[in-house]
Amino acid sequence: MKIALPIDMNNVKGFLADDEAQALYQQALSAAESGAILEVGSYCGKSTIYLGLACQQKNSVVYAIDHHIGSEEHQLGEMFHDPELFDSGEGVFDTFKEFRRNIRNAGLNDVVIPVVATSEVSAKHWYTPLAMVFIDGGHSLDAALCDYRCWATKIMKGGILAIHDLFPAPEEGGQAPYAIYKMALASGLFEPIAIINTLGILRRL
């Protein structure tokens, strides 16, 4: 199903390839019939918009979890630092203003629920079963492990776990997302569905 996009996604900062966005949308469209969706690592909202558009069609919601101060690779002097997102007055990297603007422009204020916090804090008293979880947070091993451990068991049976930035070869990219993907497979809780570009899709057994 072709996605009807309300805004030009080329103007939304992010690192999601078109084929990954399409796959994420299709999975969310199906999952949203069963319950809420949650993403870890919203950045400026590119993936959130695709998830939100699916939820909008199914009268569901997406919880968008991000502390909005950037991961390690977004800080000053790092490879993925964007000076346009650096608040020089506060001296911090801050994506929340840009995120809110994009969600508003996409007409998704009633669908997307921002949670400005870490996975650990957000999950502490979380009791709502989730139809889909998309992990695209910090790519250090500690951050990725925390995201996986916080949310994997909160996915309902038959629900979807999607993990972004899978690079089996170390020379292609960071290994932390691939490590938690392999952990999910080894856990016995998930079965593999597909890998689209660097997006891994699994189903909760």
pLDDT at 184: 98
8: in domain: no
Q: Are 174 and 167 in contact (CB under 8 A)?
A: yes
16: in domain: no
14: in domain: no
82: in domain: no
Mean pLDDT, 10 residues at a time, over the chain (205 residues)?
86 93 97 98 96 97 91 60 62 84 97 97 96 95 96 98 94 90 97 98 98
pLDDT at 115: 98
CA distance linking residue 58 with residue 168, whole number of Å: 34
pLDDT at 69: 83
Which residue segment(s) compose the domain that 147 sits in?
31-67+96-204
75: in domain: no
20: in domain: no
N residues, the chain: 205
User: Which residues are annotated as catalytic?
Assistant: 139
pLDDT at 37: 98
Strand, helix or coil for residue 2: coil
pLDDT at 169: 86
Q: Are 138 and 41 in contact (CB under 8 A)?
A: yes
Of residues 138, 134, 155, the one with CA closest to residue 47: 134
15: in domain: no
Q: Are 46 and 12 in contact (CB under 8 A)?
A: yes
CATH of the domain at 47: 3.40.50.150
147: in domain: yes
- Give the count of domains, the chain: 1
pTM: 0.93
Q: Are 177 and 164 in contact (CB under 8 A)?
A: yes
